[in-house]
Structure 1
Amino acid sequence: MNLLFKFKKTTLLIIALIMVTLWGMTRLSSPLGDKSGTQSLTIAKGVGASTIAEQLSALSKSSGGSVSAFEITALSFITGRSGDFKSGDYDINARNSLRSILDKIARGDVAPTRVRLPEGATWSQIKAALLKADVQHNAQELDVKQLATELKLSTPSAEGMLFPDTYQYRRGETETALLARAAQTLQTKLSAAWDKRAADLPYTSPYEALTMASIIEKETGTAADRPMIASVFINRLKTPMRLQTDPSVIYGIGDTFNGNLTKADLQRDTPFNTYTRNGLTPTPIATASMASIEAALHPTDSKALYFVARGDGSSEFSETLSAHNAAVQKYQLNPIKSATTAAP
């Protein structure tokens, strides 16, 4: 009798175990809810598995599901995940299986966030963009020289040394870690482009080409004009003539520039004033897009030495000073606004 009782008890336990296993497998492979789309789940630091289970249960119900907090707690324990959950912000698709969602939280596969480093942006403008991102702001006090040191760049300045793009980051990542990726991306792309450059260019290094690209970026109103703008500046370097580009003057003025470029500004000498100094600026003046880098390395074959904005974003290009002056009269009421004025 005793033996029979023990046998029945063992059998019942085995049956119960099988039922629990089948239930667990079914529940784990089932979706959290029925609604498609991604929902946000924020798990605070230090919370336990039961609290996370309650959050997931609430998300299940809001998504048309019916998974209870008790079930999630039990399944977390059964799968050995209950002590592995990591804090952070997660993108949860309720149609994914509960197992995949628990695995995701255990891995700490938090939702990436994004920040845009714009084309034609200076370091001060990039800092402003980063300030809005959920990162550790450890670069806000750095100037372009200090940033170059921090990122271990071989250039004297970090200006223009970050590739403009949209970057994913994890919340709490440092600004310098994100910027290091942007700097490495630029180096990779610039090196590849440099290797395929056109012949007979007036650059001694990829850095000089990047400096030219940054000027092209700031001067371009219409994308199609980039190779011609590059041609003008390259022709001037070869002639030689001063570049006489307004964006370089504005960069040299710095944060005190009030938006109104005057004749006095053009005559005020700074290392970046290409009206008073020969050759390229000592560093890039902004971030350069891949299109501007390509234009700097593959300019249009032309004899143009001048260009002036038409007012619709495009430019009028001229080979002679007289033709340029006529274009200025036609398109600009004030010649001081012209994109590249007469050479000295």
Structure 2
Amino acid sequence: MWRNIVSNFLTLLIVILIGLGGLVAWAKRQYVDPGPLAEAMCLRVAPGASIQAVSKDLASRGAVSNAYIFRTGAQYEEKAGKLKFGSYLIEPKTSMQQIVDQITSGGPSTCGTELVFRVGVNGNDVLLRELDPTTGDYQKVAEYNPETEKPPEGFEEKADRADVRTRVTIVDGVTSWQIVEGLKEASFLSGKIDGVPAEGSLAPDSYEVKRGADRQALVDLMKNRQSSILAAAWDGRAEGLPYDSPEQALIMASIVEKETGVPSERAQVASVFINRLEKGMKLQTDPTVIYGVTDGKGVLGRGLRQSELRKATPYNTYVIDGLPPTPIANPGKAAIEAALHPDSTDYLFFVADGSGGHAFASTIEEHNRNVAKWRELEKQRQDGSSAN
């Protein structure tokens, strides 16, 4: 009898052990296999959060199939106590193990809220935006102009959270003076800037920075990036261009940048000015004259006067031959590429066409017809405004 009891007990024990082994194998598969998440989500790990709280949040949102397995796996890998606060983008089908790795490895937040200080041609603004994890697009939460407005209610509370990323965005075509003055207003930066850098030497781009980042270090980064962009574009430039140096190409790029905001037109605009240079014609472009009037310190805010168009200055391309002595703004990469890879055209003129773009012409007769069309459009708009 005892022999039967022992035998039955051993059989039961083996069955239990096999069952436990199967359960452990199943749990391991649950931990390492792709997870159940159908759409990307943002996971915020708050400062001091526990693995239990995080596991419950993930389970309630359908990111993990079992909170207990998630916690047990993290504990087994000795990562349960190594949570790093922040906001994390969890992609669809991410495994429990991958999520644990994400939230314990640290590094910058990849999701959630972003504070953007944007330096623009016509002024600066501060933007708070949230990443929509399902589309990968940012949605504006709030915005204000730091020069003329106070932050909206609740803005600073949201912006001051430790896991909010900070970014400085420099718009194509701003001047070096505008960048320096703008960075002074970015309250999440620190330190002073050693004067205004050479015009055109800073790369317009979007720069992610840490809170307290040094302003001069950021300016140096912009310089290095612009230098690299220009060097690469110069090395791959088209043949036969009328530039003696990369600096002359940068001057042309800045003019192209200021003459059109339509990306598809940049190479055409560049071709007009290059054709004029090759024919010995004056460039006759208003943005250079405006730069000579403002010295790059803000926008003119009015039309050019006839006296300004006639006055001989180094930047008045209605008077001087060839290029002005320096760039008139900081051109973006696309404008630099256009200056060094212009379209092949015989265009010598262009004028606004009423749609935001320009009408191009090869002869003065064709150009005059385009100008007449533009003036008629302007007259119709003014008449319409008066009627309203």
TM-score for both structures, normalised by structure 1:
0.67
Secondary structure of 1:57's match?
A: helix
How far the C-alpha of 1:212 sits from its partner, in A, is 0.5
Match of 1:93 among 81, 91, 94: 91
Match of 1:40 among 14, 39, 42: 42
How far the C-alpha of 1:173 sits from its partner, in A, is 8.6
Q: Which amino acid aligns with 1:43?
A: V
Q: Do residues 29 (structure 1) and 32 (structure 2) align? A: yes
How far the C-alpha of 1:162 sits from its partner, in A, is 0.9
> Could you tell me how far apart the structure 2 residues matched to 1:97 and 1:130 are?
42
> Could you tell me how far apart the structure 1 residues matched to 2:319 and 2:92 are?
63
> Could you tell me how far apart the structure 2 residues matched to 1:202 and 1:258 are?
33
> Could you tell me how far apart the structure 2 residues matched to 1:131 and 1:99 are?
44
Q: How does 1:3-152 map to 2 (within 5 A)?
A: 21-22=24-25, 25-29=28-32, 34-45=36-47, 47-48=48-49, 51-63=50-62, 67-68=66-67, 71-93=69-91, 95-108=93-106, 110-111=109-110, 117-122=170-175, 136-138=188-190, 142=193, 145-146=195-196, 148=197
Change (3 A) 1:184 1:61: same
> Could you tell me how far apart the structure 1 residues matched to 2:273 and 2:185 are?
36
Q: Which residue of 2 aligns with 1:315?
A: 359
> Could you tell me how far apart the structure 1 residues matched to 2:66 and 2:106 are?
22
Contact 2:180–2:193 (CA under 8 A) maintained in structure 1: no
> Could you tell me how far apart the structure 1 residues matched to 2:34 and 2:240 are?
62
Q: Which amino acid aligns with 1:63?
A: G
Change (3 A) 1:17 1:107: farther
Change (3 A) 1:65 1:227: closer
Secondary structure of 1:80's match?
A: coil
Contact 1:210–1:293 (CA under 8 A) maintained in structure 2: yes
Secondary structure of 2:298's match?
A: helix
Contact 2:253–2:338 (CA under 8 A) maintained in structure 1: yes
How far the C-alpha of 1:261 sits from its partner, in A, is 3.7
Deviations 1:141-175 (A, max 9, x none): 648x54x4xxxxxxx34x363155x66x4765948
TM-score for both structures, normalised by structure 2:
0.61
RMSD, aligned CA: 4.5
Q: Which residue of 1 aligns with 2:326?
A: 282
> Could you tell me how far apart the structure 1 residues matched to 2:354 and 2:279 are?
28
> Could you tell me how far apart the structure 1 residues matched to 2:40 and 2:343 are?
47
Deviations 1:84-136 (A, max 9, x none): 32222101236321111001112225316786654444457778998999x95
Secondary structure of 1:86's match?
A: coil
Q: Which residue of 2 aligns with 1:162?
A: 203
What is the count of residue pairs matched by the alignment?
305
Larger RCO (CA under 8 A, 6+ residues apart): 1
Contact 1:210–1:288 (CA under 8 A) maintained in structure 2: no
How far the C-alpha of 1:182 sits from its partner, in A, is 5.8
Farther-moved stretch of structure 1 (34-43 vs 273-282)? 273-282
> Could you tell me how far apart the structure 2 residues matched to 1:249 and 1:102 are?
59
Q: Which amino acid aligns with 2:31?
A: L
Q: Which residue of 2 aligns with 1:152?
A: none
Aligned identity (percent) is: 31
Q: Which residue of 2 aligns with 1:296?
A: 339
Q: Which amino acid aligns with 1:137?
A: L
